[in-house]
Every structure is written in structure tokens, then in C-alpha cells.
Structure 1
Amino acid sequence: MTPEPPEPDATGPDPDPEARGVRLVRVLLVLTVVSGLIDAVSFLGLRHIFTANMTGNVLVIGFAAAGVPGFSVPHSVTSLGCFLAGAVAGGRVIHAVGSHRLWARTTLTVESALLAAAAVVAFAAPDEASGTVYSVIALTAFALGMRTATVRKLGVADLPTTVLTMTLTGLASESHAGGGHGTRFRRRAAAVAALFAGALLGAWLVIHHGLGPPLLLAALLSGALALTASGRP
């Protein structure tokens, strides 16, 4: 099924949203890998919360509020609040900057800087220290909230970069087995593989090397995209 073209928007994407320097789909797939890294850090290293996947985080808040051991209401609420603050900041950037190249570059630059700051905190202080935990939660959640607002505005189907429920649903329901034509099968499968790869790599790094290395890798990937994704086609 071919999606309807978006309504004209002075701050929105170009008619061909995938033809911008490094192709946008590839950029979003790399950002999906980054999300896997970040949620590996947050869930495994920050006491069972999410800072990229807010669907999971809302569930975690419910578990914590019910008194389930191993979950923290303050940590989860901090993550949710900082994510929403980041989304507000992302919306302000989108409306303040007219060119999609500039606001995409701005968002990715800020994300890279915040993730780098989180990496510095993780390298400088023990992973279990309260200040480390709250700082990394706040920095990563804000960064991912800002990025998610930008990705939502870009409007590329099946690549929200942080969650996969609708992507997996489309992969199954629009497959030949579901009576469809396999629309965007490669893109959807690539998104699943990207999040899996990020989570796998992030988990390995957290288990064997702590929080700093996966956060630094995430910062470097976002920074590289900030430099390459916004150039001229």
C-alpha cells in the first residue's frame, strides 16, 4: 500500500524524505541500533528502567508502583519526565528552525553531546552510585525524547527507532501469509535486526565493561550521523 503524501509543512520533510545526503532510512536504522544500546544500558545497568522505550517504561512504573521488587518509581518517573522534556525541546527546535537539514543536524548533535556527557559520568563514577544512575537516566532520556520528536516529524513509516510493535505488526499482517504483498518487508526486517543488534552489543558491553563503553559508542554513532546525514543529496 502506498502511503498518502504528507500535507505541506514549512518545517516538515521534503517530498522525497529518503533522499537527503546519507539516505534517511539508513540513518534511522543506525539510530535504531543506538536505541538498542541505550536501553541495554538503562535496563541492565540502571536498575530495570528504559530511557528510550517509553512503552516499556510506563509498564515498569506500574510494576514499581505495585511494589514489585527490583523496580524503582523515582528512577522510572525521572526517565519519563526527562524523555517528555526532551520531546518538548525537540518540538521547539523543529518549529524554530525552518530547514529539515538544520533541525535534524541540531537534534543529532545534541543527542551525541548528551550521550557523550552520560559516558563521561559513567567512566568517572561507579555505576552503582546514585548520582551516576540519575545523571545517566536524565541525560539519555532527554536525548532520546528529543530525537524521537524529530523522527516522528520526519514521518518515515516503520522506523520510529525506539519501538517495534507496529513494525512487527506490519511485518506479519502485510506479509503474504497475512494476505498482503510483503510491503516494506526489508525495511521492517532491518529495523527489527537493528534494534536486536544494538541490544545484543549493548548487553555484552554492559556485562563485560560497564556503562561507559556502550554510551560512548552510542555518542559516536549519533555524532557521525550528525555530520553525514544532513549534507546535500
Structure 2
Amino acid sequence: MEDASRHLGLMLALTFVTGLVDAGGYLGLDRVFVGNMTGNVVILGMGAAGADALPVFGPALALGTFIFGAGLAGLSMRSSPPGWSSRLTAVAVTSVLLVAATAVMLAISSTDPTVVIVAAAMTACAMGMQAAAARKVGVADVTTVVVTSTITVWATDMFARPHRTTIVNRRLAAIVAILLGALVGALLEQVALWLVFAVAAGIGAAVVGIGHASSRTRTG
């Protein structure tokens, strides 16, 4: 029970991170979602039609690198047990390092078009890895990168069985976490774009440290 509560808290923290980096990506990296791939697919479709001068290359690259990151992470954790493991720690560390590298790149130059594209690609790859790791941890209703399905289930249950437990629960917590992450990310972006990704990397590093330490304590 303690592990389940801890894992829920860690996944909610990573959901907050998704809100952070998506705000940074959309506002500072040429309207690219680096965590929410549904947004990229929609922007890609509208951009391909030439609507409102929307980007095509950036969302397509982010989508591709997200898929690559998720696939590579899934492959590396394929034989590891469910829950937090040493392989999951390695995947999560790689994800954090990619986001941290993005922060460094943007601190050096946030206006160079090449840096912007590489930053979006690196962060999207990191978010793909994060999503694969979250799937392995297996906290129900908290994928860390998708809230549309979470909102659907939350609304369905709330209307079908109105009760405190169907309203105030982990689904609502995931929705609020990504909302607050986007809010904080937008505020940080007004200060400095690199700061968005630096804070995201810091939170991610804390999550990895806590998750890894708890898994070692349990196995020990």
C-alpha cells in the first residue's frame, strides 16, 4: 500500500513535468508539444493543410522522436518486472539527462532555429521514455502524458455515480497536475525558456532518486 501511494505521487510529479515542458515547447519551441502527442498530430494535420502558418516539421520530428524514445525504453525494460526496477531507473535517468541537456542548450541560445528544433526533439524523446517508464510502473489512470482518456473516465464515473470518491480521486489529481504544470511552465517561460526545462529536469531527478531508493529498500 505504501509503495502504491509513493508510485502515485511520483507519477503525478511526472505529470506536472509534462505540463511544464509542453508549455515550454508550445510557447518557446515554435508551437510544438513535446509531451502531448495528440496535440502534435492535430497541429501536424492542420499545418499540412497550410492553416494559420502552423509548423509541420517541428511537430513531425517531435512525434517521431517521442515514438523512438518510447520504443527504445520499452525494449530495454521488456524483461524487467512490473514496478520500479534498475532498468527503469536507467531509462528515467536518460530521460532526465535529455531534458537537462535541453535546458543547457536553450540557456546558450534560445533563438537559433537549429537549437530550437534539436531541443524539441530531445525533449520529446525524453517524454516518450518517461511515458514508457510510467507504463511499467503501472499506476492506473496516470500515464503522465495523456489526460483526455483520464478526463473521459473521470467524467463518466462522476455523472454515473456522483460521490466524493468519484470526483476527488487520482484522475482529478492527474488533470490538475498537468494543468498546474502548464501554468508554472508558462510563467517560467516569461522569465527564461531554459528555466522551464531546468525545473522539469530537477523534478524528474528527484522522482528518479526517490523511486530508485524505495525500490532498493524494498528489495533489500
Alignment of 1:185 with 2:171, yes or no, is no
The match for 2:116 among 120, 125, 133 is 133
Spell out, residue by residue over 1:123-179, the C-alpha distance to the aligned partner (whole angstroms, 9 max, x if none). Answer: 001x2211111111111000001111121233321101112111111211111x323
- Provide runs of 4+ in structure 1 moved above 6 Å: none
Alignment of 1:201 with 2:165, yes or no, is no
* d(CA) in 2 for partners of 1:110, 1:185: 34
TM-score (norm 2): 0.90
Does the CA-based 8 Å contact 1:94-1:103 persist in structure 2? yes
What secondary structure, in the 3-state scheme, does the structure 1 residue paired with 2:140 have?
coil
Between the aligned residues of both structures, percent identity stands at: 34
How far 1:93 sits from its partner (Å)?
1.7
TM-score (norm 1): 0.85
Alignment of 1:217 with 2:184, yes or no, is no
The match for 1:65 among 48, 67, 80 is 48
* d(CA) in 2 for partners of 1:97, 1:160: 19
How far 1:97 sits from its partner (Å)?
4.4
Does the CA-based 8 Å contact 2:7-2:137 persist in structure 1? no
1:9 maps to which residue? Answer: none
* d(CA) in 2 for partners of 1:71, 1:210: 24
The match for 1:142 among 125, 134, 147 is 125
Alignment of 1:117 with 2:108, yes or no, is no
2:70 maps to a residue whose letter is: A
What secondary structure, in the 3-state scheme, does the structure 1 residue paired with 2:177 have?
helix
Which runs of no fewer than 5 residues in structure 2 stay unpaired?
A: none
- Paired residues for 1:161-172 under 5 Å: 161-172=144-155
Which runs of no fewer than 5 residues in structure 1 stay unpaired?
A: 1-15
How far 1:70 sits from its partner (Å)?
3.7
* d(CA) in 2 for partners of 1:90, 1:23: 22
* d(CA) in 2 for partners of 1:71, 1:129: 19
* d(CA) in 1 for partners of 2:195, 2:24: 10
Does the CA-based 8 Å contact 1:123-1:212 persist in structure 2? yes
1:168 maps to a residue whose letter is: I
More helix by share: 2
How far 1:31 sits from its partner (Å)?
0.2
* d(CA) in 2 for partners of 1:193, 1:66: 33
